[in-house]
């Protein structure tokens, strides 16, 4: 039985599974079979009679992973897994609190609030206390409370260094009292309450330390400080902790994950065994070599190097596009070619750093009639912030649009409650009017009437302003004047939504360019009406139905844990990937350059056989064209692993510059030479890497303007610049 249990393991996997019962760290690289090792370890401990199944505590990060673990254990051993403690941190803490609700200071029937329930309670409290919800937004207070709890702090323990934080802390205390009164807990409370219970109750702590002699933790690199402290408390000095993780795939610092826990674990638990699972069963050698070379530039890591016995495979394909639209068209053409070669759409994925990038890609797929699915998110025109903006635009185009009216009449919040809206709807129904016309005729008393009137005045004002503006500028005005942009800027997690609003402006610029070329002579739709129709059509078509064959679109964060035959990694430009905010951050901070590099590592290792990496010389941002420098991550991959795809028949800009043997040469001296062009990446001895964005003059008077990554835009005389083509 034991031989059969261990038969499918490689030597390192077998070493990890059969370790003596002491704390160990298993450094499991991407595609190295960590789940197999974790579940086989549990089965081996039970099969060798080292532990009773009820003495095992296994922690995962998703309920899906917990279920998979139990299924695999059941397949390996003829045991009933129902009584085993296998689950997420929150799930296990909930189970423990249910068993000891009195000791935890909870009612027997305590209920768990989800995020929306929690936000609703906070809004009720702010209203009851007459707190200005503009100065202290409910969502910001929610973030403040959850952040405090996730670092182990009660309201009485938060240090307030200013009046604003002091007020938030007071509201946190009131929130705690209200939760206790209603007998409810939020998600952050589950872990904190459980940690506090075990910290102060010595008998209970001793009981569970004796109960769980073996603790196994999956995805250890994603643990927060409080989760790590909870594990330390539960393990004590004698129990063994079998931690499996990969510091090179730690990409969730924004959720509180602390990659430093892995280094601390080795010291705190006196770990003698750090076993590296480096054999990869997913990708070909060139892909792994690229990932290894890239991640080696991170300094604060536990070193390992992935390898495979499957051969080198194909080189990584790199494509330099003139624009983001050309990049999207290239990807679509390659997807079509893969289909001809027999690769199913479901085995190809397009990855991007920012959700806003999906809009151009979706448009290209829509135009090519290729079914796609946005994994873990919504299509561009279905996203909340986009639908809100379109609703304002629909009201400007047609004030009788009741659905648009109801969507934004109180968003962002402007004090129009359900009762006021009910009265307005009753009036509209009674007189056979649209909600807009009823609102204009309404004489509702009190705050609701005043605020509804203010809303209609706002929309009228936006309509008048937009009449004289080009479409893109009109949309920019609406997202600002409506308060949408400010609303999302004030949200802690609103950065993606702000990027999407900016991308909507880009979409308008692109649409008008295409609309002017294609509209018929008898077309009488306004630009706004035509754009709204375009948005509705793209939102309603080509999103694949669940279970149907479809190309996968997703952010790199969403791709973690997945794999595909072919991966398209788009938008590899400085400022986009790595993100511009990462450059100035320290290594341990959320969003630092090292975390961005780990994110790139995750992206590369999603590909099994073929990886495309692309970037655009120019990309639309805020309705304006921005010229870009190729991502530094491309330079960190050895050139011999890459195949740079050539662009055929690309139109050259009217203004061109000359070069000989890679060095800039005075134009007057050139007899036969290849061409410099706008959008080309170059290097200067003093200013470093940049991209040519403009040029003027001829002969010895020729000058180029280069946008340098570190020094900004500079005008340089070609005769003396000595630029080198990248």
Q: Which residues are designated catalytic? A: 34-35, 218-219, 249, 606
Token code pair at residue 649: 């028949």
Annotate 4-63 with three-state secondary structure.
Answer: HHHCCCCHHHHHHHCCCCCCEEEEECCCCCHHHHHHHHHHHHHHCCCCCHHHEEEEECCH
DSSP 654: S
DSSP 446: H
Count CB neighbours of 686 within 10 A. Answer: 8
Token code pair at residue 335: 């997807």
Asked if 302 contacts 262 with a C-beta cutoff of 8 angstroms, the reply is yes
CA-to-CA distance for 248 and 246, rounded, in angstroms? Answer: 5
Query: Cα-flanking dihedrals φ and ψ of residue 689, to 5°?
Result: -80, 145
DSSP 543: B
**Secondary structure element (H or E) that encloses residue 386, with its range:** helix 384-397
CA-to-CA distance for 425 and 414, rounded, in angstroms? Answer: 18
Distances (CA, A) of 666 to 269, 290, 673: 66, 38, 11
Closest CA to 106 of 202, 194, 204, 171: 194
Beta strands in 441-578 (DSSP E): 551-555, 564-569
To the nearest 10 degrees (0 to 180), the angle between helices 202-211 and 187-200 is 100
564: region left, alpha or beta (phi > 0 left; psi from -120 to 50 alpha): beta
CA-to-CA distance for 453 and 463, rounded, in angstroms? Answer: 15
Evaluate the CA torsion angle 236, 239, 245, 247 in order and state its sign.
Answer: positive
Three-state secondary structure call for residue 667: helix
Asked if 359 contacts 506 with a C-beta cutoff of 8 angstroms, the reply is yes
Count CB neighbours of 314 within 10 A. Answer: 13
Distances (CA, A) of 382 to 19, 56, 358, 537, 539: 50, 44, 12, 11, 6
Count CB neighbours of 372 within 10 A. Answer: 24
Cα first-last separation, the chain: 59
Helices of type H across 77-186: 89-99, 115-128, 138-150, 163-182
Distances (CA, A) of 708 to 322, 324, 494, 660: 18, 20, 29, 22
């Amino acid at each position: 039985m034991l031989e059969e249990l261990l038969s499918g393991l490689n030597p390192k996997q077998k070493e990890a599974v059969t370790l003596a019962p002491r704390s160990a760290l298993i450094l499991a690289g991407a595609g190295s079979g960590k789940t197999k090792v974790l579940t086989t370890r549990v089965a081996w401990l039970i099969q060798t009679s080292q532990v009773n199944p009820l003495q095992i505590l296994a922690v995962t990060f998703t309920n899906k992973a917990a279920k998979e673990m139990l299924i695999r254990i059941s397949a390996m051993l003829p045991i009933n897994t129902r009584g085993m403690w296998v689950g997420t941190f929150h799930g296990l803490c909930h189970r423990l609190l249910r068993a000891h609700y009195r000791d935890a200071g909870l009612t027997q029937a305590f209920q768990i609030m989800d995020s929306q329930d929690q936000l609703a309670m906070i809004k009720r409290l702010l209203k009851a206390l007459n707190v200005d919800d503009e100065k202290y937004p409910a969502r910001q207070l929610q973030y403040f409370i959850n952040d405090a709890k996730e670092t182990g702090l009660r309201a009485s323990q938060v240090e307030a260094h200013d009046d604003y934080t002091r007020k938030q802390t007071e509201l946190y205390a009131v929130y705690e009292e209200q939760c206790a009164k209603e007998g409810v807990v939020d998600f952050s409370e589950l872990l904190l309450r459980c940690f506090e219970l075990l910290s102060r109750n010595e008998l209970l702590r001793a009981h569970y330390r004796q109960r769980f002699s073996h603790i196994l933790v999956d995805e250890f690199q994603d643990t927060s400080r409080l989760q790590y402290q909870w594990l330390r408390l539960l393990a004590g000095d004698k129990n063994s902790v079998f931690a499996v993780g990969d510091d090179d795939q730690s990409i969730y610092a924004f959720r509180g994950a602390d990659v430093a826990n892995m280094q601390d674990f080795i010291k705190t638990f006196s770990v003698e065994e750090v076993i590296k699972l480096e054999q990869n069963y997913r990708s070909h050698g060139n892909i792994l070599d690229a990932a290894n070379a890239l991640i080696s530039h991170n300094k604060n890591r536990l070193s390992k190097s992935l390898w495979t016995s499957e051969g080198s495979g194909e080189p990584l394909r790199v494509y330099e596009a003139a624009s983001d639209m050309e990049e999207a068209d290239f990807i679509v053409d390659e997807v079509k070619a893969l289909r001809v070669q027999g690769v199913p759409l479901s085995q190809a994925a397009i990855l991007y750093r920012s959700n806003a990038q999906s809009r151009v890609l979706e448009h290209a797929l829509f135009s090519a009639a290729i079914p796609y699915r946005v994994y873990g998110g919504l299509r561009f025109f279905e996203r909340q912030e986009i639908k809100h903006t379109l609703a304002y635009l629909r009201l400007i185009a047609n004030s009788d649009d009741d659905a648009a009216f109801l969507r934004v009449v109180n968003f962002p919040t402007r004090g129009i409650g359900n009762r006021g809206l009910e009265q307005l709807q009753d009036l509209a129904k009674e007189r056979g009017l649209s909600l807009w016309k009823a609102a204009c005729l309404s004489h509702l008393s009190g705050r609701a009437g005043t605020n509804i009137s203010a809303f209609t005045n706002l929309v009228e004002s936006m309509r008048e302003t937009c009449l004289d503006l080009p479409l893109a500028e009109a949309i920019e005005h609406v997202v600002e004047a409506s308060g949408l942009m400010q609303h999302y800027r004030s949200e802690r997690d609103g950065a993606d939504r702000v990027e999407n609003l900016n991308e909507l402006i880009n979409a308008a610029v692109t649409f008008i360019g295409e609309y002017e070329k294609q509209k018929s002579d008898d077309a009488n739709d306004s630009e706004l009406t035509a754009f709204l129709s375009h948005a509705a059509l793209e939102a309603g078509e080509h999103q694949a139905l669940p279970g149907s064959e479809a190309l996968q679109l997703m952010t790199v964060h969403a791709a973690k844990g997945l794999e595909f035959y072919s991966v398209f990694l788009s938008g590899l430009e400085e400022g986009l990937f790595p993100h511009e905010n990462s450059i100035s951050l320290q290594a341990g901070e959320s969003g630092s350059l090292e975390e961005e590099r780990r994110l790139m590592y995750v992206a590369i290792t999603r590909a099994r056989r073929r990886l495309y990496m692309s970037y655009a010389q120019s990309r639309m941002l805020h309705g304006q064209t921005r010229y870009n420098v190729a991502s530094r991550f491309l330079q960190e991959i050895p050139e011999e692993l890459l195949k740079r795809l050539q662009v055929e028949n690309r139109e050259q800009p009217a203004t061109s510059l000359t070069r000989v043997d890679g060095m800039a040469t005075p134009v007057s001296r050139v007899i036969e030479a290849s061409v410099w062009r706008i959008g080309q990446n170059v290097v200067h001895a003093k200013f470093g890497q940049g991209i040519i964005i403009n040029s003027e003059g001829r002969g010895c008077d020729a000058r180029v303007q280069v946008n340098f990554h570190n020094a900004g835009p500079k005008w340089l005389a070609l005769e003396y610049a000595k630029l080198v083509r990248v």
